[in-house]
Amino acid sequence: MPNSIVTIESMSKAFTMGNQVSQVLSDVDLKVADAEQIALMGASGSGKSTLLNIIAAYQTPDSGLARFQQRDIHLMSDNELAQWRRKELGVVFQNYNLLAPLTARQNIDFCLSLAGKRWDDWSDYLCQQLQVSELLDKYPHQLSGGQQQRIAIARAIAHKPLLLLADEPTGNLDQQASEQVMQLLVELSRVANSAIIMVTHSREAANYLQKTYTLIQGKLQLTRDKNSEQENKITPLISAGK
Ligand SMILES: Nc1ncnc2c1ncn2[C@@H]1O[C@H](COP(=O)(O)OP(=O)(O)OP(=O)(O)O)[C@@H](O)[C@H]1O
């Protein structure tokens, strides 16, 4: 049995707006093994980003626990959290979050230095694979949305994190660029033993990864497992076409 890098047990989260309570996550359990790659799917508003934010400790659950290896994520001190995020975590945010005063190269370099690393062959390689090598001296405002997204991906994986959390990393990309990103993420997982949890609306993107979990009415279900080639048919997520 491989070690779990992420363990989520009985996780629940609700949001209250006025007198309306919306139960977004309801007793969610999840185990992600070392170097395992999983896609998180589900309808818009089903709670995918909320789950990712809870794993990254940007949000706290109402109940349940989330562990990274043996550490309870929500019991880490601010200092431990900062060190963990710098060294072991990579995050691709939905809105990229590039630092505006820094060039693309400086954005990547900055995160590398926070992890105690320097620009190396892997940095060159992934910029080349993401087709951003020619864009490195530009500032975020000089880049298109898709270009910013690819820089954000490079920045999140340059230090070879043990865990990559990616919120729709191919959301703004054309098909060819999406395929390149997905191939690169699978390669990252292989060469750096990185686990990946990726939120996506794209079945094509999800199919690159080993498993797909789907959030439905607050519950998380395994809906695709490449290893066992077992598919639970959940309409309309999985088409009836043969
Ligand atoms: N801070 C908040 N306050 C109140 N409600 C929130 C908050 N954050 C999220 N929600 C609500 O929780 C639900 C889940 O949001 P979340 O962003 O996790 O969904 P999602 O599955 O990632 O959606 P999408 O695919 O559209 O990005 C939504 O109904 C959203 O309105």
Residue for token pair 């993107």:
205
pLDDT tens for residues 228-241? 865 555 544 444 44
pLDDT tens for residues 114-145? 999 999 999 999 999 999 999 999 999 999 99
ipTM, two decimals, is 0.97
pLDDT tens for residues 11-65? 999 999 898 999 999 999 999 999 999 999 999 999 999 999 999 999 999 999 9
CATH-assigned architecture of domain 4-225: 3-Layer(aba) Sandwich (3.40)
**Any atom of ligand 1 within 6 Å of the Cβ of 47:** yes
pLDDT at 140 (0 to 100): 97
**Any atom of ligand 1 within 6 Å of the Cβ of 110:** no
| Residue 154 near residue 130, CB atoms below 8 Å | yes
Ligand 1 pocket: which of 20, 44, 50 to mutate (most atoms within 8 A of CB): 50
| Residue 57 near residue 73, CB atoms below 8 Å | yes
pLDDT tens for residues 190-234? 999 999 999 999 999 999 999 999 999 999 999 999 888 655 555
